[in-house]
Structure 1
Amino acid sequence: MRLRGVRRSSNVEDRRRSGGGRVAVGGGLGGIALLVVLAIGYFAGVDVTPLLNDSTMQTSSEPRELTPQEQLAGEFAAQVLATTEQVWGQVLPEQAGIDYRPPVLVLFSGQTASPCGGASGATGPFYCPLDQQAYLDTEFFATMEQRLGAEGDFAAAYVIAHEVAHHVQNLLGILPEVEKLRQRASEVQAKALTVRLELQADCLSGVWGSHVDGILEPGDVEEALNAARMIGDDLLQKRAGRVPQPHTFTHGTSAQRSGWFARGYEAGNIAACDTFSSDDI
């Protein structure tokens, strides 16, 4: 991505200086290894507790300075968020007839609080509709690239675009409607609805990608497609040593995630992202 000259969004709340850095105590997992386990648990619906029993992690509450890598990650996130504001500020009124109100992106390290519950490395990036904010531990970028095989700046941008897509779903009224349906559904049906919701967010991320004018470089779209494949439920469950269990999926398979991103990118239109009316997702 060519982000030189791209403005930084002002809708960023950076909580990383207020403590929250990870400190390993005793033996076991630490640093990137811990994040890999947590990421697999988040994306694949795997109980990672047994893998964490031998590792004690504490979170420092002392104010601290950001590392150069954290500073760069924060600047990158603010610029990518600005591109989502530009795209959805144009696309949503044109294609859905509603104004776009951008979300706030909360950057944290280790753990933080949200109206939807406590946020930590275990939750992964997520969107909270109660405060209309997206939450991101920027160390997740390193996890994706170094351990999950999702390399490239556009792969990291896709993560942010995916959470912003949940905000778009909220503005369209899709999130609250799906939540009502999930409350009346069985556990299996509820997870099936969640998969369709997540795949729609992947598709909307593709719509964003198709409207990011002038900053894409050769290979960027392939980076996003690869990232979508690397965090498919089936692949992550295999990495966790499990036989893939479709009834436990929460985000969709590698093929589904990359396929719906591609569909949104090729169409450039919200209407192409109706995963709920599609018989074959």
Structure 2
Amino acid sequence: MRTLLVAAATCAAAGLLLSGPARAAPSTPQTGLSDVMGGDQPLLTCVVPAIREGVVASLRSFHRAMARCADRFWAGRFAAAGLAYSPPQVTITTGSDSVCGKITSSGAHYCPEQRTIVIRIMKQDLRDPFRMNMAHSVAHEWGHHVQQLTGVLDAQSALYWPASSSARTLLSHRLEMQAECFAGVFYNAALESIKPGIEWEDWIDAVRRAEESEIHGKPKNLAFWQDRGYRGGATGFCNTWTATKTKVT
């Protein structure tokens, strides 16, 4: 099986922690998520178009369709939990600028202050537009938006600023792995509609074998949390904040 571009697909929010100290927060950023947005959920039917290799407009259409799918899913989950929900803005670009500054890495990022997901279409995406890589750009960053809406980002930021360098790295890993888990929760309902072009077990194996990221942590743990969200199908399975260090480094 060819090497998948998982590392690019899971690129997280550039500048996620650069907006300054937040208000006082709980000792962990979970903020009650263990008890909400869970339970049985029907499969989500979304229309996600085919991607034409080398065509920017085709990739834009795919990402827009993925955004509509993710929005429907999370709006439903928030409503079922009795929580307020608002969708993020979604910007799709081929350039290196975004509403929260330069895109310093490939893939996608989330701008928390602007509540905007920025998807960057790269040359590699045009040459080899593998559906699951493209889908994950949206699913992972929507996970950060869920963290924003539920107070997790503010709580993490409050813990981050007074922390040591090593503690900050661990907090970053916990944040990214929870976003991976939230993506898995979404896939539990939407994967069939996405038509990923790869079996789930093969995808998770590809995530496990991706290049390690200082921000995200070890690929094997990213794979663990994404798979946990997928198999659990609820945000209560995504409490990375009290997980042992070995599961989030």
- Determine if the TM-score, normalized by the shorter chain, exceeds 0.5: yes
For the 8 Å contact 1:152–1:223, the answer to whether it is kept is no
Question: Where does residue 117 of structure 1 map in the other structure?
Answer: 101
- Which residues in structure 2 correspond to 1:112-261 (within 5 Å)? 112-114=97-99, 116-120=100-104, 122=105, 124-139=107-122, 142=125, 152-212=130-190, 214-217=192-195, 219-222=198-201, 224-233=203-212, 249-261=214-226
For the 8 Å contact 1:228–1:257, the answer to whether it is kept is yes
Task: Write out the 4+ residue segments of structure 1 that deviate beyond 4 Å after TM superposition.
Answer: none
- Which residues in structure 2 correspond to 1:23-38 (within 5 Å)? none
Question: Where does residue 275 of structure 1 map in the other structure?
Answer: 240
Q: Which has the higher strand share?
A: 1
Higher relative contact order (CA 8 A, sep 6+): 2
Superposition deviation, residue 77 in structure 1: 0.2
**Superposed CA offset, 1:215-271 (max 9, x none):** 1547352464245335442xx6xxxxxxxxxxxx31021111111100000000001
Q: TM-score, normalised by structure 2?
A: 0.71
- 1:97–1:228 distance in 2 versus 1, CA, 3 Å: farther
Question: Where does residue 69 of structure 1 map in the other structure?
Answer: 55
Superposition deviation, residue 124 in structure 1: 4.0
Unaligned runs of 5+ in 1: 1-35, 44-66, 237-248
- 1:231–1:102 distance in 2 versus 1, CA, 3 Å: farther
Identity over aligned residues, as a percent? 25
The residue type equivalent to 1:112 in the other structure is D
The more displaced of 211-220 and 84-93 is 211-220
For the 8 Å contact 1:109–1:137, the answer to whether it is kept is yes
**Superposed CA offset, 1:171-230 (max 9, x none):** 010011101111010111101100010000000000000011751547352464245335
Q: Which whole-Å CA distance do the structure 2 matches of 1:191 and 1:181 have between them?
A: 12
Q: TM-score, normalised by structure 1?
A: 0.63
Question: Where does residue 262 of structure 1 map in the other structure?
Answer: 227
**Superposed CA offset, 1:47-88 (max 9, x none):** xxxxxxxxxxxxxxxxxxxx9610110000001111101110
Q: Larger Cα Rg: Structure 1 or Structure 2? A: 1
Q: Which whole-Å CA distance do the structure 1 matches of 2:180 and 2:241 have between them?
A: 13
Unaligned runs of 5+ in 2: 13-52
The residue type equivalent to 2:101 in the other structure is G
Question: Where does residue 106 of structure 1 map in the other structure?
Answer: 91
